[in-house]
Structure 1
Amino acid sequence: MKPIIQLIVAASATIAFATSAIAAEAPDALVKRISADVIETVKTDKDIQAGNRKKIMDLVNSKILPHVDTQKMTQQAAGRFWPQATPEQQKALTREFTTKLVYTYSGALSTITNETVEFKPMVAEPGATDVEVRSLVKSARREPIILNYRLSQGPQGWKIYDLNVLGAWLVEANKSSFTSEINKTGIDGLIKKLTEQNQQLANKPVKAPK
């Protein structure tokens, strides 16, 4: 076998193995790994703790977003209006909603100090493709915070599509505002409003000055 062909075969085998490993990772194991990785990164990076937006955004984009099904999250928030949107509108809505989520929750990362996460045993039927992973974020400064995840399994493995913080699911919390805005200004109006909100968030400091 020629060297170049050997290289292609080896690369193909490596990709296939990596894809299989991702698909085989259990949903609770995935969430635990992401949480540990993100918390450890923040605790050891003084720039993130100081509110460095670029580093926080890089962290979110590299370690969190690849494991989030942003289209499904946006689709569920849009509800019955999603099929009415054109492919271009769906793409723009997903992009702006994802950007809003990144801006909104990136500030929380810079506040991490000595937090730990306790995961509850996952309860799911054998072969289930939609599960909930439950956890508590513990800190010496405040009461534990409920943080639960909904994940679904697809060709790329398990992906998060909803979060529950203190009893409120993220998708449901945005669904009513999406519905209200679409009823008033249409889908393009909602996209415009999200874009404006993102511009405001982009100009807002990640951490409030002391």
Structure 2
Amino acid sequence: MLPSGSYSLHEARPIRAYTPTTGTAWFHPHKLHPPMTRQTLLQRMHQPATALMILSGCLLSPLLPTTAHAQSTPAASASATQELAPNAMIEQVTSQVLAELRNNTRLQTGDVAVATEAVNRVVMPHVNFRRMTAAAVGPAWRNATAQQRDQLVAAFEAMLIRTYAGSLEQVGDLRVVILPMRAQPADAKDVLVRSEVRGGDSPIQLDYRLEKTPGQGLGWKIYNVNVLGAWLVDTYRTQFAQQINASGIDGLIKALQEQNFKAEQ
């Protein structure tokens, strides 16, 4: 017996309907959608900036990439920015992402394989995607097995890349301006780097939350991104909780994997 308001994986219907007045999240068991809040609607109005956000930071072991990412990412890429201040690191990585977008015609067409390679090579050395996934999954992460955690990280990353890769051809002349940082203690371990994406009708807020990675020379790691007032982790936590409450961690993994599989067809 399923709890009230939930569904089986065989039911092809949402558990809640979105209405513009309430902003209620909606969820289809075979297709994971970002919750339809006011912030999500604004994000969809600025798809190029959202795509840039995904490739330049949100694709966030406690503090290191998974083995697969470590193998696909040259060590030199990380060493080039590991000693930079957090705002300087964000500026450098964002510039690298923009250069990739403007110089790689296959990336501009939304080629998922090319986007994945670019993310692993340019972005992943500077982000903590495992922490981001754990935060999005919520308390259930603590009870997940090591294998389940690895599956969640891989499936969530693939879903995010596929969700936003298709809008990369619209980036055009967008540029990112890093805003002055507020004063921080010399030993700060967690900081907020604020920026604006410019080039459209009006500047778009794009902020990064970073942590100082323990260990000599490992530098700062991004673990969350905010677009127009909405933190990426928060937009998925409620949605994932609905799936977990209905069918557990394995149900969430299955739903993510099914969406990724269908996107490949």
Same fold at TM > 0.5? yes
**Secondary structure of the residue that 2:188 maps to in structure 1?**
coil
Name which of 119, 123, 127 aligns with 1:68.
127
* Alignment partners' CA distance in 2, 1:153 and 1:79: 22
Match of 1:137 among 197, 206, 227: 197
1:153 — aligned with what?
A: 212
Alpha-carbon offset, residue 107 of structure 1 = 2.8
SS of 1:143's partner is coil
Identity %, equivalent residues: 38
Scaled by the length of structure 2, what TM-score is found? 0.65
Paired with 1:146 and 1:108, the residues of 2 have a C-alpha distance of: 18
Higher relative helix content = 1
Equivalence for 1:102: 161
Q: Of residues 96, 118, 129 in structure 2, which corresponds to 1:59?
A: 118
Equivalent positions of 1:169-184 (< 5 A) are 169-184=231-246
Q: Residue in 1 aligned with 2:109?
A: 50
Q: Out of 172, 175, 189, which is 1:113 matched to?
A: 172
Q: Is contact 2:93-2:123 (8 Å) kept?
A: yes
Distance 1:42 1:59 in 2: 9
- Structure 1 stretch 49-58 or stretch 130-139: which is displaced more? 49-58
Residue pair 1:103, 1:202 contacting (<8 A) in 2 also: no
State the structure with more CA Rg: 1
Aligned pair count reads: 187
For structure 1, list consecutive stretches of 5 or more residues without a partner in the other structure: 1-16, 204-210
Q: Give SS of 1:24's match.
A: coil
Moved over 4 A (4+): 17-22
Cα displacement (A) at 1:65: 2.1
- Under a length normalisation based on structure 1, what TM-score does the superposition of the two structures give? 0.81
Structure 2 runs not aligned, ≥5 long: 1-75
Distance 1:18 1:188, change over 3 A: closer
- Counterpart of 1:189 in structure 2 is 251
